[in-house]
Each structure stands twice: as C-alpha cells, then as structure tokens.
Structure 1
Amino acid sequence: MRLHEVDPGNPDREMLARRRVLQLGSGGAVVSLLAALAACKNDDQSPLANTPTPTPTGTSTPFATGTPTIQALSDNDLLVLMLQLTYLQGEFYSRAVLGVPLPATLVGAGAGTVNGPRQVTFATDALGDMFREIAFEKIDQVTRLRGLLGAAAVARPALNLDVTDGGAFTQIARAATIVTGSATFDVYASENLFLLGAFVLEDITTGAYKGVLPLCQASAIIVPLGGLLGTSAQHTAMVRTQIYLRGLTSGSTLRQNAIRLSDARDSYDSSLDDDQGVSGGTATAPTSVANITNADGEGLIYGRPPQLTVNVVYLTRAIATAGGFFPSGLTGAIATSAAT
C-alpha cells in the first residue's frame, strides 16, 4: 500500500502499513514511513487494550510501600514521566529491532543523545516478528503520550542503553551478579540476551503505569492510560513467556538470570519483595512452575509509586537526580529518587 493510504481510523490499514515497513530494504525508507505513521496518528484515540490474565503469586501487595517524599503531582507531571519511560523503550526497540532511531518528529527539539543500541540479529523469525510488533507499538505509545501532553510534551532526555563498562545494562547485570568484575552485559549480542534486556525495561514501565493510574484525576487521561497499561502488560507477558519457555531448555540460564535481574530491580525501590522472575524458586534453584505475570495473591499486577520508579531507572537506593538509564536525569516534577 502507499503512504497516502495510511488511515489512522482504519486499524487494518495501519497494520498493513506496519507490515509494509518489514519489506522495505533501507533504513531511510523505514524512517520515512515511521514518520508518516506518527504524523497520521497524532489525533488518533488509543483503544483500551485487554490486560493479560494474571497468575496469582506472592503476597497481596499491589503497590510498593516504601517511604518516598509525598509530592503533589498533576496529571501532566505523571504523563511527562511516562513519556520519558516510553522514549527509553521506544529507542531501545526501534534501534535494536528496526535498525533506526525514533523519528525526529517524535523526540522534541533539543532531544538528548542516545548511547548504546545497535541492531540485533534474530535467529528465530517468529521472535523477530514479535519484537517488530512491540517496536511499532512503542512508537505508537510515544505518539499517543505526546498527543495527550500537547505543548507540554518534553523532549527525549539523554538515554544510556549502552552495554560497555559504564552502560546501564552492564550496571544492573553486575548488581544482579550475572556478570562480575570488568565483564560487560551485551544485550544486543543475541536474541536470548535481548530478551533479558527487554525484560529489564518492560516490567519497569508496566509497574510505572500501574503506579500512576490511581493518581490521575481527569477521565480524559485515565482512559487512554488504562489502554496503554494494557498494551504494556501484554508486551511484558510476551517477553516473560519467551524467557520462561526458552529457559526450560537444558543448559539455559534464562530463568535464573531473569530472577537475578528481578531481584536487582527490587533492591532499588524498597524492602518489599514485589518484583518477580518468570518462574518459581530462586536464582540458584529455579523451579519449572511458571510465573508469567508479575502479580500479587489477588491477581493484581504490582505497581510502583512514581518516585520509586525513578529509583529503579536510576539504578540506585539513594537520593539522586540522574543515573542508570537517564545519565542526565529525567525532566519534570518527578525527577529525584528516594532514599530507600
């Protein structure tokens, strides 16, 4: 189909337009079509997506209960946080899966630099196709959040998606004891390692959506954020399912490393255990019991209050204004982590 045939009111045509990108042979052509799709969708309404059916696990604690500073937050403050988390995911998937950055029209004037991502080679066609779907939907989410914010949309901050010695992925892998000493954690080196990189980011963002929704006031914000939460939860479940299934293969350490990464994330936000791996047991003795959904004993996915989400993306338990995946910090009212 031709670019002028993209119709934001017709989901079938939009899907076909996305699939057409997969047939394009050059990065420039992909960038052009991504920009066209983004422009067409500026006034589109996000449908409410169905959240995956949670698997009851853990204790009945849907929110972390650390002691961050109480802040009076507006709906725009919450949207600004979610936009920046979605920039993080959007650049991760767009660059690593599609081989191109987010279109300039979607990152704002004066956008920060993005360090690290390079395109991943997928040995499994089906996995590559799954990630392409996720990549396009992350771009859709950036578009939607920018549309909700209008003139208040902030530019993309500097992002650290690097895997070198100072890279955020290596930092969290060292905290998780997946690598030690001077070893690095290259999530772009293989499809299995990329799954673990996606696992790190997906649960952070899904938990953040769950954390901000109860704080929103306007129905015009709550409804689309509910849809974005549903989409994010489905992406998270897709990634967690693949790690679980592949982790059952003899000799695989995927399930063990997912537990380690979950424990590392959990260590930044509070003393509660409200972040889970993809299977039962521990990192040293995982079981084959599936735990696809990061949920409590009442079937509710876990969520983090906004300030504790900042702790996790900064990879710190201390008060900080930058770090981890945001080397120059976040923009807006929610930009400082708590002492946990």
Structure 2
Amino acid sequence: MFRAIPSLILPRRRLLQFGLGATLASTVGRASVSLADEASDIKDEDIFQFALNLEYMEAEYYLRGTTGKGIDDSDAGADAGQVTGGKQVSFETPAIGEFMAEVAENELAHVRFYRKTLGDQAVPRPTIDFEAGFAAVAKAAGLDFDPFGNETNFVLGGMLFEDVGVTAYAGAATVLKNKDFLAAAAGILAVEAYHMGMARSTLYRKGEQAWKAANAVSDARDKIDGSDDKDQGIQVDGKANIVPSTPDAIAFTRTPQEVLRIVYLTDQEGASKGGFYPNGMNGKIKTT
C-alpha cells in the first residue's frame, strides 16, 4: 500500500491564464535534439515520433500490469531498448481489472497506429525503466509505493502517465499541419482523456488515502515540469477535481520540455535522458 505525506496535500491552485498559444510550437525548437534548431524544422512526423515514445511506455505499463508481459518484438521495432520492471497485478475489483485491460488494448493500438503511419520513420521502443522511474516518483512524492503492488497503486501509476498524455496531445494538436495527422491526434487525445477521467474518478472513489497519494504525485510532478503551477490533484478545497483544466474548463497544455522533465524526472534544462527513459527518447524531440 502507499503512505502519503499529509503536508503534500495541495490547497486550491492559483488560477493561471493557460493560453492555447503556450503549446508545443512555442518551445519545440528548444526541445529538439539541438538547442539551435528552430521550430520550423520540426515536422509532423517528428511530433508523431515523440508521441510514439510515450505510447511505448504506456503500452508496456498497462500490458505488464494486466497480462504479465509487454509488447511483442514485432511491435517494438528493430534494435528496441529493454524494459525493466513491471509484473501482473492482482485486481481485487473485477471492474477495475477490466478497465485496465481495455486501456492496455488501447495503448497497444496506439503504438501500432503510429508505427503503421510513420512507416520506416517509426522509431523503435526506447529503453524504459519502470523500477528506477517509479522509485524516483515515490521519493519525490513522499510515498512508499509499488505501482504493481495492488490495484490502487496501479491506477495511481497510470494517472501519472494519463494526465501528462492529455496535456501533451492538447499542445501538439494546435501545430500539426497534416489534417489527417491532426484528426488522428484529436481522436487519440479523446481516448487518453477517457483514460484520465477513469483513473482519477476510480482513485477518488477509493477514499482519503488515495486522494492524498494522488495529490502528492500531482504536487511532485508540478515541481519538475516548469515554473508554472499547472498540475491539479484529484481533490481541491475538499471537493473532487476529476477534470484538471483552465478556468474556462479547457484542458491545459504542456510543451515537450515540460513533458520530458516529467518522464525524465528532472527539472534541469538540456537533459536528454533520465527517469523512465535512462537512455533518452528516440527521435528528434528528446531534450528538455
């Protein structure tokens, strides 16, 4: 089980003006492999490669938790990196087990979609380390936490990914040039948002201990993604906060730098690896 640190429970977060312009386009040049690259050098395919790296991690997480094994070699690409950690979870609540199995199928389908769409430009699965990544998350959040230890922890670990995925897709959707790519990204954003809502509402129904743990993860995530106070826990001012959004009820966005800081688990500028990706992501967009 997890042990939350009460001091990490968050008050009502200050309301920010998260303009839709604060998206992938605004900093994508800084998030590319070279700080000298310009945003105009980033192609739709580069954005899809970035998304594929995230989908590899999500698919591996949910498949390992629901089936005990990750994606097949045929879906990982040539010279794919190794995956460390993960095991099948014993679900006490059948419905939650079904929820997670459906999410696993969705994430695997996303991997296959990106690989099919990108063709020979599809990057292979990067090296992924769940053990080191979640150990760092637990330390930052003040939790005694094994994401594969029980169903509540597994949903909590999934919330870490789903919240980030939604905000990343919200940013990318505003700058994709190819209409077919944009339509696909919008559809995947909707699916990730369904996942996020399911995870956050499931945790909220688990009671106070789960609220505290989820808010602690949110707080830790917010400390490393950048200077803005964007992240939102699942309980704010004593009320449920299942839908993190701007004051206008619009999903807020994250730049690739902010996303990379979370998955690399670092607030350092210029980092190109760490956390869940010990060797970094594959593709052009890989540096904070």
The correspondence for 2:276, drawn from 288, 313, 325, is: 325
In the alignment, structure 1 residue 280 sits paired with structure 2 residue 215: no
For residue 60 of structure 1, report the CA deviation from its aligned partner.
3.8
Show the counterpart of 1:150: 119
- Runs of 4+ aligned structure 1 residues displaced above 4 Å come to 62-68
For residue 63 of structure 1, report the CA deviation from its aligned partner.
5.7
Show the counterpart of 2:225: 269
Task: Provide, for residues 265-290 of structure 1, a one-character-per-residue CA deviation record: whole Å limited to 9, x for no partner.
Answer: 11112121111111113xxxxx1x11
After TM superposition, the structure 1 = structure 2 runs for residues 80-159 of structure 1, keeping only pairs within 5 Å, are 80-159=49-128
Residue pair 1:99, 1:119 contacting (<8 A) in 2 also: yes
Task: Provide, for residues 105-135 of structure 1, a one-character-per-residue CA deviation record: whole Å limited to 9, x for no partner.
Answer: 1110110000011110001111101111111
Q: Rg bigger for which structure? A: 1
Tell which deviates more after alignment, 145-154 or 77-86: 145-154
Show the counterpart of 2:18: 61
For residue 100 of structure 1, report the CA deviation from its aligned partner.
2.1
Show the counterpart of 2:255: 305
Show the counterpart of 1:253: 209
Mapped partners of 1:62, 1:125: distance in 2: 41
Equivalent residue letter for 2:227: S
Q: Secondary structure, in 3 states, of the residue corresponding to 1:215?
A: coil
Tell which deviates more after alignment, 205-214 or 123-132: 205-214
Distance 1:62 1:254, change over 3 A: farther
The correspondence for 1:173, drawn from 138, 144, 151, is: 138
Equivalent residue letter for 2:176: C
Equivalent residue letter for 2:242: I
Q: Secondary structure, in 3 states, of the residue corresponding to 2:89?
A: coil
Show the counterpart of 1:37: none
Q: Could you list the runs of 5+ residues in structure 2 that have no partner in the other structure?
A: 1-13, 31-37
Mapped partners of 1:148, 1:305: distance in 2: 23
Equivalent residue letter for 2:74: T
Task: Provide, for residues 298-336 of structure 1, a one-character-per-residue CA deviation record: whole Å limited to 9, x for no partner.
Answer: 111121011221111101110211001101101111111
For residue 202 of structure 1, report the CA deviation from its aligned partner.
1.0
Q: Secondary structure, in 3 states, of the residue corresponding to 2:173?
A: helix
Equivalent residue letter for 1:177: G
Q: Could you list the runs of 5+ residues in structure 1 that have no partner in the other structure?
A: 1-56, 180-184, 282-286
State the structure with bigger RCO (CA 8 A, min sep 6), 1 or 2: 2
Mapped partners of 1:178, 1:190: distance in 2: 14
Residue pair 1:58, 1:295 contacting (<8 A) in 2 also: no
For residue 64 of structure 1, report the CA deviation from its aligned partner.
9.3
Equivalent residue letter for 2:112: T
Show the counterpart of 2:7: none
Q: Secondary structure, in 3 states, of the residue corresponding to 1:301?
A: coil
Identity %, equivalent residues = 32
TM-score (norm 1): 0.74
> Number of aligned pairs?
262
